[in-house]
Amino acid sequence: MIFLDEARIFVKAGGGGNGCLAFRREKFVPRGGPSGGDGGRGGDVFMESSQRHNTLIHYRYNREFKAQRGRHGEGSNRHGASGEDVVLKVPLGTLLLDESTGETLHDFTRPDERILIAAGGRGGYGNAHFATSTNRAPRRHDAGHPGEERHLRLQLKLLADVGLVGFPNVGKSTLISRISAARPKIADYPFTTLVPNLGVVAVDEERSFVVADIPGLIEGAHLGQGLGVQFLKHIERTRLILHLVDVSESSGRDPISDLQTINRELASFNPALLQKVQFIVATKIDIVEDGSRLEAVERYCRGEGLTMVKISSVSGVGIPGLVYTVDRELRRLASQADPVRVT
Written as one string, the DSSP assignment of 278-290 is EEEEEE-GGG-SS
Same domain as 315, residue 169: yes
* Residue 256 CA: distances (Å) to CA of 17, 99, 220, 271, 273: 68, 41, 17, 20, 19
Same domain as 223, residue 174: yes
Q: Give me the pLDDT at residue 209, please.
A: 87
Beta strands across the sheet bearing 208-213: 197-202, 208-213, 162-165, 240-246, 277-283, 307-310
Q: Give me the pLDDT at residue 132, please.
A: 92
Same domain as 25, residue 144: yes
Domain end among 156, 188, 214: 156
Pair 173, 247: CB distance under 8 Å: no
Q: Give me the pLDDT at residue 229, please.
A: 54
Same domain as 305, residue 191: yes
CATH number of the domain where residue 16 is located: 2.70.210.12
The H-or-E segment that residue 151 falls in is strand 149-156
Same domain as 201, residue 131: no
CA distance 240 to 107: 20
Q: Give me the pLDDT at residue 208, please.
A: 83
Helices (H), 103-254: 172-179, 229-232
Nearest 5°: phi and psi at 233? Answer: -65, -20
Domain end among 134, 156, 178: 156
CATH number of the domain where residue 315 is located: 3.40.50.300
CA distance 240 to 253: 25
Q: Give me the pLDDT at residue 182, please.
A: 61
Instruction: State the total domains in the chain.
Output: 2
Domain assignment present for residue 341? The answer is no
Domain assignment present for residue 343? The answer is no
Nearest 5°: phi and psi at 318? Answer: 80, -10
Q: Give me the pLDDT at residue 52, please.
A: 82
Pair 186, 257: CB distance under 8 Å: no
* Residue 223 CA: distances (Å) to CA of 163, 193, 276: 20, 20, 22
Q: Give me the pLDDT at residue 291, please.
A: 86
Q: Give me the pLDDT at residue 195, please.
A: 62
Q: Give me the pLDDT at residue 167, please.
A: 87
Q: Give me the pLDDT at residue 230, please.
A: 59
Structural domain range at position 71 = 1-156
Domain assignment present for residue 76? The answer is yes
CA distance 161 to 209: 6
Domain end among 108, 127, 156: 156
Domain assignment present for residue 342? The answer is no
Radius of gyration of the chain (CA): 29
Same domain as 262, residue 306: yes
Query: For every one of its 343 residues, what pLDDT tens digit does the chain have, with 9 covering 90 and above?
Result: 345 578 999 999 999 999 999 998 877 777 778 999 999 999 999 999 988 887 788 898 899 999 999 999 999 999 999 999 999 999 888 999 999 999 999 999 898 999 999 999 999 999 999 999 899 899 999 999 999 999 999 998 777 889 999 888 888 888 988 988 766 544 443 444 446 677 888 888 778 888 888 875 655 544 454 444 556 777 888 889 999 999 998 877 899 999 999 899 888 888 988 999 999 999 999 988 888 899 999 999 999 999 999 999 989 999 999 999 999 999 998 887 444 444 3
pTM of the model: 0.67
Same domain as 299, residue 231: yes
